[in-house]
């Protein structure tokens, strides 16, 4: 890594700490102070507030995609892969709930490019999930369009359930994973 890349990583880590501590009220002044620099220096690295938000979003989206791709490769059949993928998503937002809320709520509202990053992530994940659905040995005769519809529906469902779950006290992640997996495996239809 170059010195500039190292510095940028350190600044993003400072921003993460502030967002975890300050929640959506995190400000550029507090982030700069956490990093031991002035706000103009922070802007020099990211251009503006939107640049910092986009860099934070990209960092967390990349980490989440790595987790989700690993879960999609879980052995043990379709149900095991489904459970692992749902758990990977919920685990990621549970690990950094304030960063998740910051990116999904404040940053996405204030900066259209961040909203685009988040929407792009959900779309990319849906597309990758569709490839997995088409290749799934337990599912036969799945057409490309059908796989895309299912995949994007599943991605949206898990995201919406995760958003709801973060606001629920005392609901274990395992229960949410179990119920979403059960829903996908037909328990809703009886």
Q: What is the pLDDT of residues 162-172, one digit of tens each?
A: 999 999 999 99
Phi-psi group of 48: left, alpha or beta (phi > 0 → left; psi -120 to 50 → alpha; rest → beta): beta
The CA distance from 56 to 62, in Å, is 10
**What are the backbone dihedrals phi and psi of residue 71, each rounded to the nearest 5 degrees, phi first?**
-65, -35
Alpha helices in the chain (DSSP H): 3-22, 28-35, 39-46, 49-72, 78-95, 97-101, 108-110, 112-135, 144-166, 173-184
Residue 166, both tokens: 């973060």
CB 24 within 8 A of CB 64: no
pLDDT, residue 106, reads 67
Summarize the confidence of residues 103-110 as an average pLDDT. 71
Listed residue (47, 35, 56, 166) closest to 108, CA to CA: 56
Listed residue (180, 115, 183) closest to 123, CA to CA: 115
Residue 113, both tokens: 């490019």
pLDDT, residue 1, reads 61
User: How does residue 80 score in pLDDT terms, banded at 50, 70 and 90?
Assistant: very high
**Count of residues for the chain?**
190
User: How does residue 3 score in pLDDT terms, banded at 50, 70 and 90?
Assistant: confident
pTM score, whole prediction: 0.84
pLDDT, residue 49, reads 83
Task: Count other C-beta atoms under 10 Å from residue 156's C-beta.
Answer: 12
pLDDT, residue 108, reads 67
Summarize the confidence of residues 4-11 as an average pLDDT. 85
Choose from 62-66, 69-73, 169-173 the range with maximum mean pLDDT: 169-173
Q: For all residues of the chain together, what is the average pLDDT?
A: 87
Residue 149 half-sphere exposure, CB side, CA atoms within 13 Å? Answer: 5
């Amino acid at each position: 890594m170059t010195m500039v890349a190292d510095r940028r990583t350190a600044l993003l880590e400072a921003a993460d700490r502030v967002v975890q501590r300050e929640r959506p009220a995190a400000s550029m002044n507090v982030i700069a102070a956490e990093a031991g620099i002035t706000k103009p220096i922070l802007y020099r690295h990211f251009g503006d507030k939107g640049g910092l938000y986009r860099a934070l979003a990209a960092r967390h989206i990349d980490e989440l995609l790595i987790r989700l791709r690993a879960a999609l490769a879980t052995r043990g059949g379709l149900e095991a892969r489904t459970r692992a993928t749902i758990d990977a998503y919920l685990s990621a937002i549970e690990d950094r709930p304030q960063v998740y809320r910051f990116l999904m709520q404040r940053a996405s509202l204030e900066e259209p490019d961040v909203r685009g990053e988040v929407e792009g992530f959900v779309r990319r994940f849906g597309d990758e999930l569709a490839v997995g659905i088409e290749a799934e040995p337990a599912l036969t005769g799945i057409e490309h369009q059908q796989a895309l519809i299912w995949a994007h529906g599943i991605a949206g469902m898990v995201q919406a359930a995760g958003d709801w779950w973060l606001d629920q006290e005392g609901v274990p992640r395992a229960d949410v994973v179990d119920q979403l997996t059960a829903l996908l495996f037909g328990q809703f239809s009886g």
